[in-house]
Structures are given as structure tokens and as C-alpha cells.
Amino acid sequence: MAADTTRSFIPLSIAVLTVSDTRRPEDDRSGDTLVQRLTEAGHGLAARAIVPDEVAAIRGQVEAWVRDPAIDVVITTGGTGFTGRDVTPEALEPLFEKRMDGFSAVFHRISYDKIGTSTLQSRATAGVTGATYVFVLPGSPGACKDAWDGILRQQLDYRHRPCNFVEIMPRLDEHLRRGAAVTA
């Protein structure tokens, strides 16, 4: 699908979280890949952090970013495999008010074209928490490239047709506003 040139690009504020027991800022290639791609697309890097593969650390950082009204999107990289330390989906899926099942399906289709059945070793997922999109990606630079180039670049661009995530952002937290109005 093509971009609608009658619409203006709307830059989003995106936070990038690397989940790893071993990565440091100087060797975080997956985080670097995401930052490069999102800034080249015209979005802003709102925040960036590295946390260990621990549920409390992962959840705590993402919850803090979700509470920040200046952050529109959180993208995590790492911790989506099957080893004992891979706990990013367990940390974040309980926060999802709405799961984005199609994200995982499309990610695996794209990944299959690149790495075949090895895509089965990823538990990439996504959802909406409050008014924030949260995308949970594997920890390899290739997987981050595939997710950005094949899904996020288009869906985080207001010009993408026939539809995109940006155009529904103002309505993501309707249920929260309705609840506040009922209790007021």
C-alpha cells in the first residue's frame, strides 16, 4: 500500500527498551537498529534504556513510559525466546488492555521469509496499554529490521493507507475517559 500524499506526516514519540543481561549501550545493536530506523522515518526518540531479563525491571520501565503522556509508542527488543531468562512477554502481556494478535502473525510471516521455521523460536507480541502501543520484538538486529521495515514503518505513519495505528491513537483511551466520566 502507498502513502497518501494529501496527508501530513505526524511524528511520534517512541521509547526503546532493550531487555538483556549482557548488553550495554556501546554494544546494543538491536536498540541501535530501532533508533536508527525510527529517527530516519521522522519520529522522535523519547527515551531509551537497557534492563535485565527480570519481570519486575521490564514491567516497571514500560509502566513508567506508558504513564508518560509524552510517549506514544514503546518498542522492546529481547527476551522473547524460550529460555528460562526470556520473560519479556510474561512481563508485558498482563499490561495489555487489548492484544494485537495480528502483529505476531504478520511478524512471523515476514520472519519466515527470512529465516524459515526458526521464526517459531520467537514470541513477538504487541498490545495497547492505556493510550500507548507496546511492541515486543526479539533481540536480534535482523528481527528488529524485519519488524520495523515490514510492519511498524507503515503502521506508525499517518499517511499509510488504507489504515494505520496513528489515526486511531486519539481514541485508544476512550474507555479510560468514559470510566473517569462515570465516576465523576
- Mean model confidence pLDDT for the chain: 94
Whether the pLDDT of residue 148 is over 90: the answer is yes
Whether the pLDDT of residue 183 is over 90: the answer is no
Name the nearest CA neighbour of 4 among 154, 175, 183. 154
Quick one: average pLDDT of 21-45? 96
Name the nearest CA neighbour of 39 among 169, 153, 164, 146. 153
pLDDT of residue 174: 82
* CATH number corresponding to 13-183: 3.40.980.10
Angstrom distance (rounded) from CA 132 to CA 12 = 11
Name the nearest CA neighbour of 128 among 54, 65, 60, 66. 66
User: The C-alpha cell of 37 is what?
Assistant: 530506523
Q: CA 157, 162, 164: angle at the middle one, nearest 5?
A: 35
User: The C-alpha cell of 35 is what?
Assistant: 533508533
Q: Domain extents for the chain? A: 13-183
pLDDT tens digits along 117-134: 999 999 999 999 999 999
Q: What is the DSSP letter of 120?
A: G
Q: What is the DSSP letter of 80?
A: -
pLDDT of residue 79: 94
Whether the pLDDT of residue 179 is over 80: the answer is no
pLDDT of residue 180: 59
Whether the pLDDT of residue 71 is over 70: the answer is yes
